[in-house]
Structure 1
Amino acid sequence: MATYSELVSQAQALMAQAEQVRKHELASVVADIKAKMKEYGITVEDLGAASSARKGGAGKSKAPAKYQGPNGELWSGGPGRKPEWVKVALAAGQNLDQFLINS
């Protein structure tokens, strides 16, 4: 049977691998979206992104970020559902204090 530290190490390795795959897939999706936007003459404004960015984003918290994840993700630490990176860190036995943003 694997030890706790071995399982944590495996979990961290899998998260790193998953992040690499996510970045690769994301790059492919972004390239596809850009190609479609060019093909159809769609602008960012057509998508409504500019107006929601000015308003802080639809459904996004306006509380300042208190924590920053391993890949730059931000979280205010407020009530509600925890981001996936927080769940993974806690499951791996990590303390959220190590992700505090020092102001």
Structure 2
Amino acid sequence: MAKSLKQVLSQIEKLQKEAEALRAKEISGVVARIREAIDHYGLTPEELFGSSPAKPRARGASARPAKAASGKRKAPRGTGAPKYHDGAGRTWTGVGKRPNWFKEALAAGKSAEDLLIRN
């Protein structure tokens, strides 16, 4: 016996609801495992996602590096690895303007060597 369009659409709707429920259940398990790992390792948002969220590119913006005046492409600058930390999750690469937390720590009597990240 041939199925009608209405029966097929009904089956599709049921399966979509079942798939959504399964996905929600799997997501809750994944989120729980991620939270457990974050708690276990004491990870901070900065360690997980970097110091600032990535900005979405403007529509039509190219992913290719910009051209230098000579016509050659420049390599994109990446963020460097953190060199200093304050123990509260704030880090600094040691390049550019000193962050306030770094200046405050120096003013409080710490040395730059005290704030170094040791591997």
What's the TM-score, normalizing by structure 2?
0.42
What's the TM-score, normalizing by structure 1?
0.48
User: Whose helix fraction is larger, Structure 1's or Structure 2's?
Assistant: 1
Structure showing greater relative contact order (alpha-carbon pairs closer than 8 Å, 6 or more residues apart): 1
